[in-house]
Structure 1
Amino acid sequence: MAVPPSAPPLSSLSAHLLAASFAISYVGSLYLSKHSRLRFSSTAVAHNQNDVPRQKYDGERWRDDPDVIRARLTAVTLSTLLSCATIGWVLNHVDHGNSSTGDLICATLYWIGLGVDLSPAALKTIFLSSLITVVLFLGPLYGYYLDSSLPFQSRFSFKRDVYSVIRTWIGWRNYIIAPITEEVVFRACVLAVYHMSGASVNKMIFLSPLWFGVAHMHHAWDVYNRFGRTTAALRRAILGTCFQLTYTSLFGSHVAYLFLRTGSILPPITAHIFCNVMGFPALIEDLARYSKRRYVIWFAYTMGVAGYVYTRSRWSENPDSPYWNHSF
């Protein structure tokens, strides 16, 4: 008589609740303190320019204010540590409290993709899988090349384009703290609990990123207020939120695949940083500015997609990944 497989240590409901708690904790931490909350004028502000925000008034607190960013970075860092501790608590529950503190910490780091594996094969996989996103952006990179804005080209300045950006609080938020904390929470922690519930790889790739997309919807309130709380501002907030939900969910599927495939959080973090640097692909703008190169531009974008399809599984393969076709 065949022995049935052991039941997953978590139920699907428990995994959903834990994933929701991670998302709520991360976004909610931005509003717990008065220092991290945004503040807008209580009166409607006339504003007819749809492409630029209105003038900021005294007493208002906007998301790009340095003190707001500092408070929010502290909040999300603490929320991320809390989510990681929750993974440790779940692992301790699964092991019925039999693990030592040291073993529990090592196990938590392992399941959130921070296990240290310095073997040449592991380092090669991490390096190659970090380049997959670069391949996908071959078209936008060609646009930067035409604009002479790539590193070592005439219009690129390390001091202006790198140093002066990273040293600001906006730079720290966009290119360091946010990519790291968001990937640890919305990729590592969320996928860890879904994996413990026995969720399929496809479900983890295509459904779990919705938490990441939904977590960005709170930006709609910010956009609505900064653009004057008019009908046009409301329309802009709704359309922008729908676009961001779609884009972040698609991006989430991409980095979820990288995490599950490699078992490391480093490729998703580097992909997140790279995408934040590149922004959304500007195909229409590139075609308009360089109309004589339009066929080459189309070719570069097409080759980027084809290269992504070719390299995605080949460059990210890690037989030791605990997530890819492995039971908990």
Structure 2
Amino acid sequence: KTAQRRNLCSFHSSLAPEQPPESFAASCVACWVCVLSCLLLACCYVGSLYVWKGNLPRDHPSVIKRRCVSVLLVAALSPAAVKTWTHWVDVSVLELMGVRMKGLLPALILPLLLTVETFTSVPPYNVIMRFIFPDGGSWRLCVRDAVWLRNQVVAPLTEELVFRGAMLPMLVPCTGPTAAIFTAPLLFGVETSALAHTVEIQNDFRQVSLNTGANSTEAFFLYTSVFGAFTSFIFMRTGHVAGPVLCHSFCNSRGLPDIGAALQHPQHSLLLFLYVLGVVMFLVLLFPLTDPFFYGAIPVCSLAPPSASVC
């Protein structure tokens, strides 16, 4: 442990040589404070959903509007938290959070193609077209639907900005990129499990609970942790938050693969084969489609030790 602290101190020293020596000692014990800061940011995000009093259901338009305002405000303030922990880096806060132009086009396309691979039980072309043109291209109806705006726009945008764009730059200098990929989703899962969010969406995970024998809280925690790790991986490999936002929006539109319905289908063998094929293709293409070659230098990787494998 002493050696690890010494290495961490030297790492911070190399990043901020202009700081006085006494600040290096403080940086050695700052990691747990950084993790607590991320936990506080998660509390602010999830807690902001419940500051509004009332007995209306979560899908009521007025409830959706108030909650959207809350999470958008938290997301807008999150760069200040990143600036606090990365003031010694010669990179803009927005670039560290994945808001940049270089490599944007591949960041919009390749991660989405990778995500679509898990839905090959349906022709990928049809999957993408239904996502781009919902309800037969009726965007006018979609933008007037508060539930659609929440699920497809506000929730993916704000969650990825806060839990990927803001938290990963704070975690990477202390934990390294690999550990940060798995830590950030746990913070969201813990907070949402601790609050009433899982009760509100228990119907969305009823089928998962029946298939796995787990309750809705366990199913939700597992899903958010696995999916959060995936989008964190995308963020670390591409340096863009746009890819995780699109993947998040796509998965919200598709939901979980209905394995139970596939088993009852007359051509269940073919459907199951296609599902397995999708998983295999996803694993095969995971690293090639997220190769930093397509996206240029990754700003958040400037915070990680040179030997970090993910970067």
Output the TM-score relative to the length of structure 1: 0.72
User: Quick one: distance in 1 between partners of 2:116 and 2:239?
Assistant: 20
Q: Which residue of 1 aligns with 2:40?
A: 21
User: Quick one: distance in 1 between partners of 2:128 and 2:230?
Assistant: 26
User: Quick one: distance in 2 between partners of 1:208 and 1:124?
Assistant: 24
Do structure 1's residue 249 and structure 2's residue 225 form an aligned pair? yes
Q: Which residue of 2 aligns with 1:212?
A: 188
Could you tell me whether the CA contact under 8 Å between 2:108 and 2:243 is conserved in 1?
A: yes
Could you tell me whether the CA contact under 8 Å between 2:116 and 2:124 is conserved in 1?
A: no
Do structure 1's residue 136 and structure 2's residue 106 form an aligned pair? no
Choose which of 117, 137, 150 in structure 2 pairs with 1:158: 137
What is the CA-CA distance between 1:81 and the residue it aligns to? 1.1
**Runs (4+) of structure 1 moved beyond 6 Å?**
none
Q: Give the structure with the larger helix fraction.
A: 2
What is the CA-CA distance between 1:64 and the residue it aligns to? 1.0
What is the CA-CA distance between 1:260 and the residue it aligns to? 0.4
What is the CA-CA distance between 1:183 and the residue it aligns to? 0.3
Question: Alpha-carbon deviations, 1:270-323, whole Å to 9, x = none?
Answer: 1000000000111211231x22x2221111101110110111100111151234
Question: Alpha-carbon deviations, 1:228-248, whole Å to 9, x = none?
Answer: xxxxxxxxxx92121111101
Could you tell me whether the CA contact under 8 Å between 1:125 and 1:317 is conserved in 2?
A: no
Choose which of 270, 278, 285 in structure 2 pairs with 1:296: 270
Choose which of 81, 84, 105 in structure 2 pairs with 1:123: 105
Do structure 1's residue 61 and structure 2's residue 40 form an aligned pair? no
Which AA in structure 2 matches 1:314? P
Could you tell me whether the CA contact under 8 Å between 2:152 and 2:252 is conserved in 1?
A: yes
Which AA in structure 2 matches 1:77? L
* Structure-2 change in CA distance of 1:312 and 1:325 (3 Å): farther
Q: Which residue of 2 aligns with 1:70?
A: 65
Q: Secondary structure at the match of 1:7?
A: helix
Q: Which residue of 2 aligns with 1:88?
A: 83
Q: How well do the aligned residues superpose, as a CA RMSD in angstroms? A: 3.1
* Structure-2 change in CA distance of 1:130 and 1:150 (3 Å): closer
User: Quick one: distance in 2 between partners of 1:250 and 1:110?
Assistant: 25
What is the CA-CA distance between 1:174 and the residue it aligns to? 0.5
* Structure-2 change in CA distance of 1:325 and 1:303 (3 Å): farther
What is the CA-CA distance between 1:84 and the residue it aligns to? 1.6
Q: Percent identity?
A: 27
User: Quick one: distance in 1 between partners of 2:223 and 2:69?
Assistant: 26
* Structure-2 change in CA distance of 1:82 and 1:117 (3 Å): same
Output the TM-score relative to the length of structure 2: 0.76
* Structure-2 change in CA distance of 1:325 and 1:89 (3 Å): closer
* Structure-2 change in CA distance of 1:126 and 1:157 (3 Å): closer
What is the CA-CA distance between 1:143 and the residue it aligns to? 11
Q: Secondary structure at the match of 1:86?
A: helix
Could you tell me whether the CA contact under 8 Å between 2:177 and 2:304 is conserved in 1?
A: no
User: Quick one: distance in 1 between partners of 2:161 and 2:35?
Assistant: 17
Q: Secondary structure at the match of 1:308?
A: helix
User: Quick one: distance in 1 between partners of 2:97 and 2:128?
Assistant: 36
User: Quick one: distance in 1 between partners of 2:96 and 2:155?
Assistant: 20
Q: Which residue of 2 aligns with 1:113?
A: 98
Higher Rg: 1
What is the CA-CA distance between 1:188 and the residue it aligns to? 1.2
Which AA in structure 1 matches 2:36? L
What is the CA-CA distance between 1:211 and the residue it aligns to? 1.2
